[in-house]
Amino acid sequence: MPSPKARDASPSDATASMTKPQQEVRCAVRFPLELPVVLSNGGGVFVAETRNISASGALFALEQKLEPGMEIRFSLRMPGSVLGVPQDVLVHCHGRVVRCSISQQQYLAAATIDDYQFAEQ
């Protein structure tokens, strides 16, 4: 149950909180990796390249716009040097697009990685 103070907040308090810039909170370290990748959503495939990757998501550069909420599957060959292992590792991922914008004539799509599986090598 909210405290009485929370219920009695004035409209100016609400306006002040809406005008403050939101700071993005990141839960995982992002690695600036540019890796080729093919995204699929069951209805089509999209050729892309990663811009950065973390344990919880990835940023892709691509020619087509993706819609937020779209479920996607993709596989990445992660460099062993980044993971601290002797060989590259193939990772199959399932996630969803959380936002898409355009930058310098390319679309940038941020997606979560909701599930992943290491491929047998």
**What CATH number has the domain bearing residue 39?**
2.40.10.220
Within a domain: 102? yes
Give the least confident one: 2-6, 45-49, 106-110. 2-6
Within a domain: 11? no
Q: How many domains does the chain have?
A: 1
Within a domain: 57? yes
Is the confidence at residue 38, as pLDDT, over 90? yes
**pLDDT band (50, 70, 90) for residue 26:** low
Q: 112: domain range?
A: 29-118
Is the confidence at residue 5, as pLDDT, over 60? no
Average pLDDT, stretch 62-90? Answer: 93
Q: Distance between CA 87 and CA 11 in Å, rounded?
A: 58
**pLDDT band (50, 70, 90) for residue 96:** very high
Within a domain: 2? no
- C-beta atoms surrounding 109 within 10 Å: 26
Q: Distance between CA 58 and CA 9 in Å, rounded?
A: 38
- C-beta atoms surrounding 23 within 10 Å: 5
Within a domain: 35? yes
Residue 27 has phi, psi (to 5 degrees) of -95, -15
Within a domain: 63? yes
Q: What is the pTM of this model?
A: 0.74
Give strand pairing partners of 49: 36, 61
